[in-house]
């Protein structure tokens, strides 16, 4: 939504930081530890301000291949504190969709030696076209924060300390207050120009053309066409096809916040022309707390799903996953019911608890054969799980029912424990599964940033192969950062494993130095992924006499020899497209009768500033 688009303006514009993060673009700060790598500095003048000597320093970027600013800072000579700063985004910076950006701040002394913020202001003009002469429609977003009644040395209430100080609240929250409320709490009166802008915005929102454009854009971004009470969608699942179902038709929807801000109901029904079966599912979401998430989700479905897909894979039954399929998807029919509760204790610390019942059915693409060669119709599973997620100073966008993590400068840690309980479902196995993960996005100035994800786990107990760790294959030509581009589905399985996913984004640091390519604003990426895992004798169905409940499908085995793939990519092609070339480094020789892919070209779309 537009609120999400402009919600990034609510980030903390801190000129003291090494990087100023706004719109998920990290501009090199003029006071950065590595500032000399990005800027040339000039002492222009020294002047008196409120009786204090102040240095006026201008800074200009050395190059515009990476996000930088251009402007001036004023430094107090006695304390070397930042008195004020004014910066703009210069022409030619490798940033999308923003024609103009201006950042300003003012600080003031509080007490004898401390400095505190007085005013922050950010203004940006967004447009599809970036040239000043372009006649494309654009819009301007402005955020101004004034700090008043600053108190130093007073203890803060416990509820304030626990509150989320990096939150972007959905616009519906602010609309609950009338104009009189904002006039009362605002520390200054609106100017006539500001009042005129508010009146103009209110009137534009009533224009039919604006409302139609907003509906189309919101539908493209959310996947749902919203009426007042019901959202119909997701539109990208309306029609698809696969070799198990044939042509698939689906109709779904969910209630909007106009029905209730506490409960959301959703559901869908689908039909495949080849298997001639009706599928469907439904969800109930109950919100008990929104500023700190307290949410219960109940869900059930009978559908065909792909086991062993990556976290960011195209969703099952997506039209794009059908069009760009490599033809080796191996879908399974699954009956599943689950309950999931998330409790956010404080900003950055949340726990989850839940239970799941599922039955996974075999078919000609995912056979289930016992060691005595008899056919097993299905696999049962009943489990409970608990999880923990910890982050520090992470920005979060929260809407009425959903939230989106916007990233942190520190590692994000997850821990999960799952226990299979036979008493909850007939023929369900007993097992215990421990998993841990870490995600980190370090900045490496001026060479861009990295995305590092480490994962590992261990399964205790004897389980059929659908309940093992099925390592993430990719059955499409779309790139998935958390799947292996050259790995087939059901190629490798483990009951103890460690994996890593690494990307480094140079943000145009290399290509931006080449005269012929600089104007294209392409950005280069390096990719390296790998996994190492083992199978205990009890779960290795490739060994004779292992006692595993089910035989492995043809071509599936252990990854005791580490699997590694590497590649490079170019992103920001036409400001949306990314193309990756990936090579398989190990396991290049397939087992007899099987085929593997040693090289893959993947595409992906990224809406990034």
Could you tell me the residue ranges of all domains in the chain? 2-154, 290-605
Are the C-beta atoms of 332 and 466 separated by less than 8 Å? yes
Share of the chain above pLDDT 90, in %: 48
Q: Can you give the pLDDT at residue 140?
A: 78
CB atoms within 10 A of CB 182: 11
Looking at the predicted structure, is the pLDDT value of residue 596 above 60?
yes
**Distance of alpha carbon 2 from the chain centroid:** 17
CB atoms within 10 A of CB 77: 12
Q: Which residue(s) pair with 66 in the sheet?
A: none
Tokens of 159: 């509820």
DSSP class of residue 389 equals E
Q: Can you give the pLDDT at residue 569?
A: 95
Q: Which residue(s) pair with 594 in the sheet?
A: none
Among 90, 76, 79, 77, smallest CA distance to 28 is for: 90
**CB-hemisphere CA count at 13 Å for 388?**
7
Tokens of 606: 């990224």
Are the C-beta atoms of 77 and 56 separated by less than 8 Å? no
Buried b (16+ CB within 10 A) or exposed e, 332-362: bbbebbbbbbbbbeebbebebebebbbbbbb
Q: Which residue(s) pair with 305 in the sheet?
A: 332
Tokens of 595: 């085929």
Strand 395-398 and strand 167-169: the pairing is: parallel
Q: Can you give the pLDDT at residue 393?
A: 87
| DSSP per-residue string spanning 226-243 | E-SSEEE--GGGSEEEET
Looking at the predicted structure, is the pLDDT value of residue 280 above 90?
yes
Tokens of 383: 């489990």
Residues in the chain: 609
For residues 27 and 89, what is the distance between their CA atoms, to the nearest angstrom?
Answer: 9
For residues 273 and 260, what is the distance between their CA atoms, to the nearest angstrom?
Answer: 36
CATH number for the segment(s) 290-605: 2.40.160
How do residues 542-559 score in pLDDT, each as one tens digit?
Answer: 777 777 889 999 889 999
3-state secondary structure of 146: strand
Q: Comparing 56-60, 79-83, 413-417, which segment has the lowest mean pLDDT?
A: 79-83
Looking at the predicted structure, is the pLDDT value of residue 508 above 50?
yes
For residues 231 and 254, what is the distance between their CA atoms, to the nearest angstrom?
Answer: 5
Averaged pLDDT, 322-336: 86
Q: Can you give the pLDDT at residue 11?
A: 59
How do residues 435-486 score in pLDDT, each as one tens digit?
Answer: 999 999 998 877 889 999 999 999 999 999 999 999 999 988 999 999 999 9
For residues 1 and 3, what is the distance between their CA atoms, to the nearest angstrom?
Answer: 5
The dihedral sign for the CA sequence 265, 300, 432, 491: negative
Are the C-beta atoms of 177 and 169 separated by less than 8 Å? no
Tokens of 470: 């099925």
Cβ-Cβ contacts under 8 Å for 14 (sequence gap 6 or more): 20, 29
Averaged pLDDT, 290-302: 95
Q: Which residue(s) pair with 189 in the sheet?
A: none
Q: Can you give the pLDDT at residue 315?
A: 67
If you average pLDDT over every residue of the chain, what do you get?
Answer: 87
How do residues 90-110 score in pLDDT, each as one tens digit?
Answer: 988 888 778 889 999 999 888
Looking at the predicted structure, is the pLDDT value of residue 3 above 70?
no
Q: Give Dmax (Cα) for the chain.
A: 92
Buried b (16+ CB within 10 A) or exposed e, 593-605: eeeebeebebebe
Tokens of 203: 């009137």
Q: Can you give the pLDDT at residue 1?
A: 41
For residues 461 and 328, what is the distance between their CA atoms, to the nearest angstrom?
Answer: 30
For residues 70 and 63, what is the distance between their CA atoms, to the nearest angstrom?
Answer: 11
How do residues 127-174 score in pLDDT, each as one tens digit?
Answer: 776 555 556 567 778 888 888 888 787 787 766 666 555 444 555 555
Question: Which residue shows structure tokens 């930088």?
Answer: 68
CB atoms within 10 A of CB 368: 22
SS3 percent helix, strand, coil of the chain, rounded to 5, is: 15, 45, 40
Cβ-Cβ contacts under 8 Å for 215 (sequence gap 6 or more): 225, 226
């Amino acid at each position: 939504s537009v609120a999400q688009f402009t919600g990034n303006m609510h980030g903390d514009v801190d000129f003291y930081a090494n990087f100023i993060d706004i719109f998920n673009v990290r501009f090199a700060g003029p006071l950065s530890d590595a500032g000399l790598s990005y800027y040339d500095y000039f002492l222009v003048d020294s002047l008196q301000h409120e009786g204090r000597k102040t240095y006026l320093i201008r800074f200009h970027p050395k190059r515009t291949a990476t996000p930088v600013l251009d402007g001036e800072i004023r430094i107090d000579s006695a304390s070397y504190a930042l008195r004020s700063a004014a910066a703009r985004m210069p022409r030619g910076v490798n940033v999308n969709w923003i024609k103009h950006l201006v950042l300003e701040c003012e600080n003031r002394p509080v007490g004898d030696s401390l400095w505190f913020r007085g005013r922050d202001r950010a203004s940006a003009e967004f447009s599809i076209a970036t040239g000043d002469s372009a006649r494309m429609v654009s819009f301007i977003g402005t955020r101004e924060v004034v700090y008043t009644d600053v108190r130093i040395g007073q203890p803060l209430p416990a509820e304030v300390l626990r509150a989320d100080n990096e939150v972007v609240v959905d616009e519906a929250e602010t609309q609950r207050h009338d104009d009189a409320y904002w006039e009362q709490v605002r520390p200054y009166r609106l100017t006539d120009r500001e009042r005129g802008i508010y009146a103009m915005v209110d009137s534009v929102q009533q224009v039919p053309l604006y409302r139609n454009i907003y509906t189309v854009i919101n539908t493209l971004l959310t996947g749902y066409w919203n009426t007042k009470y019901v959202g119909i969608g997701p539109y990208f699942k309306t029609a698809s096809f696969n070799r198990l179902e044939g042509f698939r038709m689906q109709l779904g929807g969910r209630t909007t916040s106009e029905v209730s801000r506490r409960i959301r109901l959703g559901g869908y029904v689908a039909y495949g022309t080849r298997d001639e079966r009706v599928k469907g599912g439904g969800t109930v979401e109950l919100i008990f707390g929104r500023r700190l998430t307290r949410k219960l989700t109940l869900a059930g479905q009978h559908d065909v799903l792909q086991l062993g897909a990556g976290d960011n894979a195209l969703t099952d039954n997506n039209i794009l996953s059908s069009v760009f399929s490599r033809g080796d998807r191996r879908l399974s029919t699954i009956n599943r019911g689950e309950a999931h509760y998330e409790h956010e204790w404080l900003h950055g610390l949340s726990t989850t608890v839940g239970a799941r019942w599922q039955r996974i059915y075999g078919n000609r693409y995912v056979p289930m054969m016992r060691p005595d060669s008899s056919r097993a119709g299905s696999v049962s599973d009943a489990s409970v799980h608990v999880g923990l997620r910890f982050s520090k100073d992470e920005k979060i966008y929260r809407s009425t029912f959903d939230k989106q993590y916007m990233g942190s400068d520190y590692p994000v840690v997850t821990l999960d424990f799952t226990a299979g309980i036979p008493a909850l479902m007939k023929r369900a196995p007993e097992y215990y599964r421990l998993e841990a993960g870490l995600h980190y996005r370090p900045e490496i100035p001026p060479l861009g940033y990295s995305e590092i994800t480490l994962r590992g786990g261990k399964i205790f107990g004897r389980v059929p192969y659908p309940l093992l760790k099925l390592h993430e294959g990719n059955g499409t030509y779309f790139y998935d950062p958390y799947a292996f581009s050259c790995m087939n589905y059901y190629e490798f399985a483990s009951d103890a494993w460690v994996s890593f996913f690494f990307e480094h984004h140079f943000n145009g640091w290399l290509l931006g130095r080449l005269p012929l390519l600089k104007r294209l604003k392409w950005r280069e990426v390096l990719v390296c992924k790998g996994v190492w895992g083992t199978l205990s004798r009890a779960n290795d169905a490739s060994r004779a006499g292992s006692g595993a409940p089910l035989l492995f499908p043809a071509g599936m085995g252990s990854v005791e020899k580490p699997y590694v793939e590497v590649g490079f990519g170019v992103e920001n092609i036409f400001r949306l497209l990314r193309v990756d070339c990936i090579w398989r480094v190990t396991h290049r020789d397939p087992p007899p009768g099987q085929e593997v892919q040693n090289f893959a070209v993947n595409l992906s779309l990224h809406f990034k500033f």
